[in-house]
Amino acid sequence: MNNHMYLIKDEKLVKSLVGKAKAPEHKINTSLLELEDIVNHFNDKKIYLNKSMESVKANLDKRSNCIYMYSRNIHNINDVFEQFIITFNTFPSIKKCNKTNIMEFHYKLNKDKLIIFCCDPNDINVITYKDIKNLCDTNNIEWKNQTYTQFITQLRDNFFDELMDVLNLQRSKELKYQRNLIINVIFVSVVLRIRNST
């Protein structure tokens, strides 16, 4: 107290002072920190291209577990998001956005039914999501609605990973050869010493 230390013998007073001096413990309970399993829905859902929100609502029973892809010159689906809110009178969960541009949002009807709305992230005048999907299938890369640049990056990473595997395999073979060579030299020298000693 007052920058002085005093000996306190009363145990209740000691516990009280120690309790006051402790920093308060903060516990945060929020759904924002819950982690979801990452699932690639682009492999198991049917894709419908550039459908209007009226068409989505009319076919809600038939297409309750699908992807609505918007492949157009606009590289966001902000207008689709607004139309969704107006049509369904509910807010879907935004999954991908680039600053203020919404790239993907999900609408979960129930536990098993999920509708995904997303845009084609590529420049459709040059290449579309279908071309990227074909390239991914050809090169054994998982398609996740990536851009052409992302595809090239994945292809490069795969190439260098395979190259490193080959180099590591060669290096291990060289090490094995060197180890066997050293063992043989030691064996020969031991045999020669034994012969010389007898």
Could you read off the pLDDT of 107-133 as tens digits, one per residue?
998 888 899 999 999 888 889 999 999
Q: Please check the confidence at residue 161 and state whether its pLDDT lies above 70.
A: yes
pTM, two decimal places: 0.65
Same domain, 117 and 159: no
The per-residue pLDDT for 50 is 92
Q: How many domains does the chain have?
A: 2
Structural domain contains residue 30:
no
Structural domain contains residue 140:
no
Structural domain contains residue 50:
yes
Eight-state DSSP code of residue 33: G
Which has the minimum average pLDDT: 16-20, 93-97, 137-141, 153-157? 16-20
Six token digits for residue 82: 């607004």
The per-residue pLDDT for 120 is 92
CB 135 within 8 A of CB 151: yes
Beta bridge partners of 107: 115
Boundary of a domain, candidates 124, 139, 160: 124
Boundary of a domain, candidates 93, 124, 155: 124
Structural domain contains residue 129:
no
Q: Which helix (H) or strand (E) holds 46?
A: strand 46-49
Same domain, 166 and 106: no
Same domain, 39 and 71: yes
Same domain, 192 and 154: yes
Q: Please check the confidence at residue 25 and state whether its pLDDT lies above 80.
A: no
By residue count, the chain amounts to 198
Same domain, 44 and 96: yes
Same domain, 109 and 64: yes
Which has the minimum average pLDDT: 87-96, 122-131, 146-155, 189-198? 189-198
Q: Which structural domain, as residue segments, surrounds residue 158? A: 147-198
Structural domain contains residue 7:
no
pLDDT band at 3 (very low <50, low <70, confident <90, very high): low
Structural domain contains residue 110:
yes
Q: Please check the confidence at residue 71 and state whether its pLDDT lies above 80.
A: yes
pLDDT band at 46 (very low <50, low <70, confident <90, very high): very high
* Share above pLDDT 90 across residues of the chain, in percent, rounded to a whole number: 37
pLDDT band at 42 (very low <50, low <70, confident <90, very high): confident
Could you tell me which residue, 5 or 167, shows the higher pLDDT?
167
Same domain, 119 and 163: no
For residue range 178-196, what is the model confidence (pLDDT) as tens digits? 877 777 777 777 677 777 7
Angle at 155 between CA 153 and CA 159, to 5 degrees: 115
